[in-house]
């Protein structure tokens, strides 16, 4: 790594680790033995002790173009000096208009409006609210039910955890939203273990949506939200035909289909979005993360043709959608996003995973037979490596693998007992080898 810039506060080990209440972290464990990152360039982080760490997780599924890309850095620097902030409530500034127009060019004009947020969680809440308000605007205000899926992750807002399906993310936080149901998840080791790409078994699970329609009646259901490939619960690849079936059932009953593409968006599968990859068009798409290459927080919700228009019959002079964030379309974030899209385009990054995916698949499946491994799955440039849980200590084995890999200079991500890999889209084959070799070595060492 040739990190050229000195961090603003070069002190690598702050004196007070206590005050920062860290998100989704075992705070006590971390603060006893911190893993501190102080710089990053291209495929590598630099740790506080000076070691280079190969990034096999794109930070947190977001740094798709690799770290410290000069074009993005310069765009942010220029924009913050020129216009640090301007409201987008009843005022405007040029960048979000330019960005939205550019984003709509991605998908054959099918999605013609974009609502900006600051995160994946906000994108999800925004999409759910748009779905509810859309039906109401069309005189179908009885459509209030939302349907998510078991093992789904849709961020941490109350909307997102209500439609999400991760027990620990839900159980501490009261009764959540009313009127939410869940489809069954599609993960089945007996049927699908060690499948390369999309599993053959499981499309029928989409039929559970019909059952929910029979139970509640379509006139009460607003939207279904799923991740096309579930990321955070360990890379669950949709069975062949599953997403198509969901689309058909939604169409039959006038239910909106939302794809949460916070992870799959911006090139992860070798196409710009999962909707392109699977050839299934939802009504709303939520994105964030790769939109700005993780540089500045920003999310974007894409709405298909007709959704925005449904709101435009509101009385003249009235706000059409009572929703938005102070930082919706923030100038610096928008500048980062525009520069990120330039980098993606110039380097063909939104398609690059397609050329690497076979090598990736072969490398990942080369771990078959490695110690503790009970499943391997992959699509595009994402992979899940499922480990047999240690009896009575779910997650402990994978967490140990994570810390050992970090010590050996590779950043992996773990969720429960699943290792999830999703490298920046600039990754080279020798770096894929290094990731897989490190995982293999670590699994030999982990008890």
Task: Count CA within 13 A, CB hemisphere, residue 396.
Answer: 6
Is there binding between residue 121 and ligand PLP (CB under 6 A)?
yes
Of 334 and 446, CB closest to ligand PLP:
334
Of 46 and 294, CB closest to ligand PLP:
294
424 close to 438: Cβ distance less than 8 angstroms: no
Interface residue with ligand PLP among 59, 66, 68, 155 (CB under 6 A) is: 155
Interface residue with ligand PLP among 183, 209, 263, 405 (CB under 6 A) is: 263
Of 22 and 101, CB closest to ligand PLP:
22
Q: Which residues pair with 146 in a beta bridge?
A: 180, 223
Q: Min. distance of Cβ 76 from ligand PLP in angstroms?
A: 18
Quick note: the x/- pattern for ligand PLP over 224-253, rule CB under 6 A, is: ---x---xx---------------------
Interface residue with ligand PLP among 39, 63, 114, 124 (CB under 6 A) is: 124
Interacting span for ligand PLP (CB under 6 A) from 96-104, 203-211, 256-264, 276-284:
256-264
Q: Min. distance of Cβ 164 from ligand PLP in angstroms?
A: 8
Interacting span for ligand PLP (CB under 6 A) from 26-34, 63-71, 115-123, 364-372:
115-123
Is there binding between residue 285 and ligand PLP (CB under 6 A)?
no
d(CA 133, CA 6): 48
Of 99 and 124, CB closest to ligand PLP:
124
Rounded to the nearest 10 degrees, the angle between the axes of helix 208-216 and helix 242-253 is: 20
Is there binding between residue 288 and ligand PLP (CB under 6 A)?
yes
**Three-state secondary structure along the chain?**
CCCCCCCCCCCCCCCCCCCCCCCCCCHHHHHHCCCCEEEEEECEEEECCCCEEEECCHHHHCCCCCECCHHHHHHHHHHHHHCCCCCCCCCCCHHHHHHHHHHHHHHCCCEEEEEEECCHHHHHHHHHHHHHHHHHHCCCCCCCEEEEECCCCCCCCHHHHHHCCCHHHHCCCCCCCCCEEEECCCCCHHHHCCCCCCCCCCHHHHHHHHHHHHHHCHHHEEEEEECCCECCCCCECCCCCHHHHHHHHHHHHCCEEEEECCCCCCCCCCCCCHHHHHCCCCCEEEECHHHHCCCCCCEEEEEECCHHHHHCCCCCCCCCCCCCCCCCCCHHHHHHHHHHHHHHHHCCHHHHHHHHHHHHHHHHHCCCCCCCEEEEEEECCEEEEEECCECCECCHHHHHHHHHHHHCCEECEEECCEEEECCCCCCCHHHHHHHHHHHHHHHHHCC
Of 61 and 344, CB closest to ligand PLP:
61
Quick note: the x/- pattern for ligand PLP over 29-68, rule CB under 6 A, is: --------------------------------x-------
Interface residue with ligand PLP among 57, 64, 104, 119 (CB under 6 A) is: 119
Q: Min. distance of Cβ 288 from ligand PLP in angstroms?
A: 5
Is there binding between residue 276 and ligand PLP (CB under 6 A)?
no
Of 378 and 434, CB closest to ligand PLP:
378
Is there binding between residue 260 and ligand PLP (CB under 6 A)?
yes
Quick note: the x/- pattern for ligand PLP over 316-345, rule CB under 6 A, is: ------------------------------
Interface residue with ligand PLP among 120, 272, 329, 416 (CB under 6 A) is: 120
Is there binding between residue 378 and ligand PLP (CB under 6 A)?
no
Interface residue with ligand PLP among 72, 209, 262, 387 (CB under 6 A) is: 262
Q: How many residues bind ligand PLP (CB under 6 A)?
A: 15
Neighbours of 158 (CB within 10 A): 14
Is there binding between residue 442 and ligand PLP (CB under 6 A)?
no
Binding site for ligand PLP (CB under 6 A): 61, 119-121, 124, 153-155, 227, 231-232, 260, 262-263, 288
């Amino acid at each position: 790594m040739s990190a050229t810039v000195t961090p603003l506060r070069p002190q690598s080990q702050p004196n007070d680790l206590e005050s920062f209440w860290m998100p989704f972290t075992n705070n006590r464990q971390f603060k006893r033995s911190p893993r501190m990152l102080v710089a990053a360039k291209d495929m590598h982080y630099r740790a506080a002790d000076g070691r280079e760490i190969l990034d096999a997780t794109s930070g947190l599924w977001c740094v798709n173009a690799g770290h410290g890309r000069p074009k993005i850095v310069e765009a942010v620097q220029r924009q913050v000096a020129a216009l640090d902030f301007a409201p987008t409530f009843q005022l405007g500034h040029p960048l979000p208009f330019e960005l939205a127009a550019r984003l709509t060019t991605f998908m054959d004009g099918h999605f013609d409006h974009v609502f900006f947020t600051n995160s994946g969680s906000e994108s999800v809440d925004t999409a759910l609210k748009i779905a509810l308000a859309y039906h109401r605007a069309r005189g179908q205000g009885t459509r209030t039910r939302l349907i998510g899926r078991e093992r789904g992750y849709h961020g941490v807002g109350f909307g997102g955890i209500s439609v999400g399906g991760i027990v620990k993310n839900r159980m501490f936080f009261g009764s959540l939203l009313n009127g939410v149901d869940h489809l069954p998840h599609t993960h089945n080791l007996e049927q699908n273990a060690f499948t390369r790409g999309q599993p053959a078994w499981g499309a029928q699970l989409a039929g559970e949506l019909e059952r929910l329609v029979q139970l509640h009646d379509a006139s009460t259901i607003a939207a279904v939200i799923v991740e096309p490939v579930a990321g955070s619960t360990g890379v669950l690849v949709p069975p062949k035909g599953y997403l198509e079936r969901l689309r058909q059932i939604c169409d039959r009953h006038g239910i909106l289909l939302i794809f949460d593409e916070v992870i799959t968006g911006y090139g992860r599968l070798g196409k710009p979005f999962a909707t392109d990859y699977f050839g299934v068009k939802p009504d709303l798409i939520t994105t964030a993360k790769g939109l700005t290459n993780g540089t500045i927080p920003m999310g974007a919700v894409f709405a298909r043709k007709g959704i925005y228009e449904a709101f435009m019959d509101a009385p003249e002079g009235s706000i059409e959608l009572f929703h938005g964030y102070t930082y919706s379309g923030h100038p610096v974030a928008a500048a980062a996003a525009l520069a990120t899209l330039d980098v993606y385009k110039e380097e063909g990054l939104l398609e690059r995973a397609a050329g690497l995916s076979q090598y990736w698949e072969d490398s990942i499946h080369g771990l078959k037979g490695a110690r503790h491994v009970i499943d391997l799955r992959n699509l595009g440039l994402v992979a899940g490596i499922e480990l047999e849980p240690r009896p009575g200590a779910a997650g402990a084995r994978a967490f140990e693998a994570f810390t050992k890999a970090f010590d050996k200079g590779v950043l992996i991500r773990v969720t429960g007992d699943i290792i999830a890999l999703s490298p920046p889209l600039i990754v080279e084959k020798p770096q894929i080898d290094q990731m897989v070799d490190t995982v293999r070595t670590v699994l030999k060492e982990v008890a």
